[in-house]
Each structure stands twice: as C-alpha cells, then as structure tokens.
Amino acid sequence: MMKKLLSATKWLPKIPTGPNSRRALVLLAITVILVIPLIEFQQRAYWVRVIGYTGLYIILGLGLNVVVGLAGLLNLGYVAFYAIGAYTYALLASGHFDIHVSFWLVLPLAALLAGVAGILLGIPVLRMRGDYLAIVTLGFGEIIRILVTNLTDLTNGSQGLIGIDSPFLLGLELKTSTHFYYMILIFVIIAVFITYRLDHSRIGRGWIALREDEDVAQMAGINTTRYKLLAFAVGAIIGGLGGAIFAAWQGSIFPDNFNLMVSINVICLIIIGGVGSIPGVIIGSFALIALPDILREFSDYRLLLFGLLLVVMMIARPEGFIPSRRWQLELRTEEYAHVAPTGTAEKSEGS
Amino acid sequence: MILSSRDVTKRFGGLVAVNNLDLEIQEHVIHSIIGPNGAGKTTFFNCVTGFYSPDEGDIQFNNKPIAGLSPDRITHLGISRTYQNIRLFSNMTAIENVLVGQHPRLKTSVIDAILHTPRYHKEEGEALEEANRLIRFVGLIGLGDQLARNLPYGAQRRLEIARALASGPKLMLLDEPTAGMNPHETAEMMLFIQNLRDEVGITILLIEHDMRVVMGISERITVLDYGEKIAEGPPNEIQRDPRVIEAYLGRGAASGLGRISATAID
C-alpha cells in the first residue's frame, strides 16, 4: 500500500531543483502574483479574492511560525490574536459605537493589544511544555471566541459587527478586493522581512535553541522566560495585524470567523510547508487555503481529494514541502593552527 | 578560591543525593569528583549550575553566592558545563551551536536584528569569527556547517566543549568527557583538557569514571559516596585511601587488599 502510494507521487510534477530554474520559478510566481489583479480574464475577481485570502493566511502563518516553528511552543489558540486585532479595528471604526478612527492609527493599537494579550497568555504557561501547552492555548483561543460571542453589549454577540469603515490611503478609499490584495501583499512582505531577520540573528538562534533543548539553552545563558514571552508577543502582534486587515477587508465580522479551525489551519499550513521555514509557510498557505477553494469544481469530492493530497504529501515529504535549512557559516580559511579563544588569550600570554 | 560549597544538601523525597557537602575548588586547578554510581556527583553539578537549587547550604563562586540563581544568570557569571549524555542543539549546525554558546556575550536586540543596525553587523561578524576560531580550537575544521546530529561521536563531545567555551567561562564543569571513547580518543581528550587549563587558563571541575584519566590529569580529587565526601586529596593519596577502596570494591576487598599489601611488605 505504502509503496503504491509512493510510486503514485512520481506522477506529480517535479519541483525543479537547480538554483537557476528555481530562481526562474520564483520570479515567474512573483510576476503572476503582481499582475493577476491588473489583467482581464474570466473569474478575475474570484482569483483575486482567493489569493488575497491566502495572503492573509501567509501573514498568520509567518506569525505563528515564530512561536511554533522557531521557539517550538505549540500554540493552538492563535486565532485569539487574530480575533483581538479584528475586533479592535471593528469597534474603533464602525457605526457600532459611532467611533471612526483611521485604519492607520488602529493598526498599531491592534498590534499592541494583541502583543499584550500574547504576553498575558505567555506568563501562566511559561513552565508548560508540549501537549500541556497546546491544551491551555487551545482553551485560550476558545475563551476569546466565547467572550466575543457573549459580551453582546460590547461586540454585538453572534449578530457580529457590520458596516466597518474602509481604510483611506492618500484620499483613496480602499474597498475593492484588488486594493486589499495589494495591501495584504505589502504586509506579507513586511512580515517575511521581520521574521526572516529575526530568524537569522541572535534572537532567532535563541528561539531555535529553546526549541531544541530548553534546559541546555538556559545553561547556555539564554533567559528562557524572556525569549518565550518575546516569541509569543511577536507571533501575537503579527496575528493582530492580520485580524485588523481582515476586518477592514470584509467590512463585517462575526464570532464564527474566529473558530478553532483557523488555528488548526494555520498550524497545518506550517507543518505542510516545513516547520520553521518561511518559504514553507507561503507554499503551505497556497496548498491549504487556495487549493481547497480551487478544487471547488469537484464539489462533492473536494474534501476527499484534498485529504488524499495531504496523505500523499505527508508520505512523500514528511518534513514538509520546503524544510527549513540552516545557513552555511563556516569560513573556509586555510589557517589550521590551534588558536586560543579571545578574552582568555591575554591570560595565557601573562602566565 | 574560585568555587566553594558549604553544607550543601539536596534531597529527592527520602533520598539524600548530596549530604552536607563542603567543597573548595582552587583557581587554575583540574579538580575531579569521583565516586560510585549514584554518589551524587551529577546532582552536585546541577546544584552548581542552577539546574537544581540546593535544599540547604551555600555555594559561592568568586565569593558571590550563586545557590538558587537561574542557570542563565550563573552562566553570565562565568560557569559553563558539558553533559554526561551529549546534549547539543541537534538540528543546528556546529557553528550555530557555538554561536548560541556566545549568547551571554552578545547584546543584539530585536530592533538591531530587524533594522540591521551597525551594532548587529559588528557583533554578528565578531561572533562568527569567534565561533570559527573555537571550531578550529577544538579541531573540528571543515565540520562547522554540519548539523550537530550528523557529527561523529567524538566530534559531538568536542563541539559541546566548544559551546561551553563560547560563553567565556572561568570555571568549566565537565561531566564524563571521555565516556564512550576509545583509548586513543581518551588520551587526546586528556591532553585537550590539560591544554584548556594551561593555555586558556580555565579552572576545570571534572566528573570521570576512567581512573587513568582521573589519576593522570587531576591535581586534586574529591571522592563522594552516598552524597557524602569520604576523601579528598592529590591522586597518589586517594589511590591508597582505604575508605575509597572500600567505597568502590566493598569492605571485604578493602581488607583483602590490606592483607595483600601487608604480605607484599613482608
């Protein structure tokens, strides 16, 4: 059975592996993404929406990837931060309380509130690992959803919040899917930039060390408390931004937009793409968010086909589509002499 | 005196793993702790490095009390260690392992990392250079970009030492550094440890079962049994101490040995 499945994967298109063809493929993908909303073709609006929505999940995936992929903290309640961001914007920019704050002012506030929520969730779970952490964070996600459902005075409960303001940019009202498509694209780039740079710094190394072996990381001088809270905060901030954009785009939000499936989907796309890998998050989002929508044509068999694809994927590439790679850092010097490390070298000269 | 413990006791339920232990480590010395399995050697290491907090007693490092501090604080003060069963960051490269070890010496903040400030560039450059130097120092040239888990056993042991060195320690705790090594590798490791003390000037506290290593490189040996110190002194004294022989071989053997040496003298 396994062998049959494995041989079946041979028929799947091979991803080119040479550096040049890979670069060409990436360039092609970027060009397609950039021009899709500009060219006229059948079902253009549908594609713009699907890819825009996928972009939103890329943002969420990048945020959660810091927490789960880098720091190794299994957080199943990530949707909570998405909800906090969305409700922050919806409450401060709609007819509900007749408050109309600019989107660009609410955005940092949404990020801040989500970040604070991330730290508040982080403090009680500092000593938890693995499954226990997953259960508590799962509960946190549900608590936020139940809160927004039941705090009817504040959030209008399951009736949701409608008539959320469109953002304005230089006098232009951002209301079409094309506008949001490009806005999400810009935020994806920002999120990639930030998480990539954090990954390849002392901070990212600290997170990965934490994931690999928490006790040894602490003995290596890493303040594990600070690094865990930092990971929770960075992930939450990115999730909060995603939520605010989502609310502005949809124009209306309901508690049901923030159910457990959002968290599960984001975790799944990280795992399918390759844990800890930024390109993996992007590929994973397309595989998990765009693909099921595209498969809509097969209506009845859609979920079946999708499940089959996932199973084949996990057998063929269990470490994800694009596993995270470490940088090559060793300087190729010809010097083979034994050299004493700095800081201690002066001592040996003295003795 | 670089490290001193006074009346250190650590219990696990009814078991007293370390019992009223007084220990003094002089600076620039290779000091070994030996004892049968379960004597409390590694528990004592864990108390010194902050992994456990002792139930009673006081540990001072350079005349500063450290008992009960968190491991990262203690590492900042200048103590580092290796582990009995190798514990590397297995999905990171050798160089990255050493870079993580340098953590206490670096100051790059989140802002520095995102904006690539001059401090980020300067610090990362220096850290990388230092990591490469340490990789060479422990003899892992050409293996720096290998994932730690793909390295051969001996190389993993040496990488652990490189990581421990990276924090710039004054005192290094080595937990059975030659475990699982063949005689040739063991001899190399002995030279390497001596070199650490002589060239780099680090004080070494060593747990070791291989008596050739212990007797060959230690200046001072402390013997533990059931959490208590039963003997302390230079290697030649420890070798002849009847309490030590008894702890290792049992009372009958000790008296037997006594008889043999007695007949030998006759």
ipTM of the complex: 0.89
Query: How far apart, in whole angstroms, are the C-alpha atoms of residue B163 and residue A220?
Result: 8
Confirm whether A252 is domain-assigned.
yes
Considering the segment(s) B1-78+169-236 as one domain, its CATH architecture is 3-Layer(aba) Sandwich (3.40)
Confirm whether A312 is domain-assigned.
no
- Residue A245 has which token pair? 């954009």
Confirm whether A83 is domain-assigned.
yes
Confirm whether A20 is domain-assigned.
no
Which residue on chain A is closest to B143 by alpha carbon? A330
A259 touches B: beta carbon within 8 Å: no
B32 φ/ψ angles, rounded to the nearest 5 degrees = -105, 145
Number of separate domains in chain A: 1
Query: Helix axis angle, A130-150 relative to A260-273, nearest 10°?
Result: 140
**For residues A80-108, average pLDDT:** 94
What's the confidence (pLDDT) of residue A347? 36
What's the confidence (pLDDT) of residue A171? 84
Confirm whether A326 is domain-assigned.
no
B166 touches A: beta carbon within 8 Å: yes
Q: Which of residues 317-346 of A touch B (CB under 8 A)?
A: 326-331, 333, 335-345
**For residues A260-269, average pLDDT:** 91
Does residue B148 register a pLDDT over 60? yes
Listed in order, the ranges of chain B carrying CATH 3.40.50.300 are 1-78+169-236
Domain that holds residue A155: 42-259
Confidence band, pLDDT 50/70/90 cuts, at residue A331: low
Query: How far apart, in whole angstroms, are the C-alpha atoms of residue A285 and residue B177?
Result: 46
Per-residue pLDDT tens digits for A302-321: 778 777 877 887 788 878 88
Helix (H, G, I), strand (E, B) or coil at B138: coil
Confirm whether A299 is domain-assigned.
no
Q: What percent of chain A has pLDDT over 70?
A: 87
Residue where the block lists tokens 């003995």: A219
Per-residue pLDDT tens digits for B183-223: 999 999 999 999 999 988 999 999 998 889 999 999 999 99
Does residue B262 register a pLDDT over 70? no
B125 touches A: beta carbon within 8 Å: no
Confirm whether A278 is domain-assigned.
no
Which of these, B192, B123, B201, lies nearest to B160 by C-alpha position? B192
CB A77 within 8 A of CB A138: yes
CB < 8 Å to B89, chain A: 208-209, 212-213, 216-217
What's the confidence (pLDDT) of residue A334? 39
Q: How many contacts (CB atoms, under 8 Å) link A and B?
A: 157
Q: What is the pTM of this model?
A: 0.87
Does residue A349 register a pLDDT over 50? no
Which residue on chain A is closest to B166 by alpha carbon? A341
Confirm whether A301 is domain-assigned.
no
Q: Point out which residues pair with B231 in neighbouring strands.
A: B223
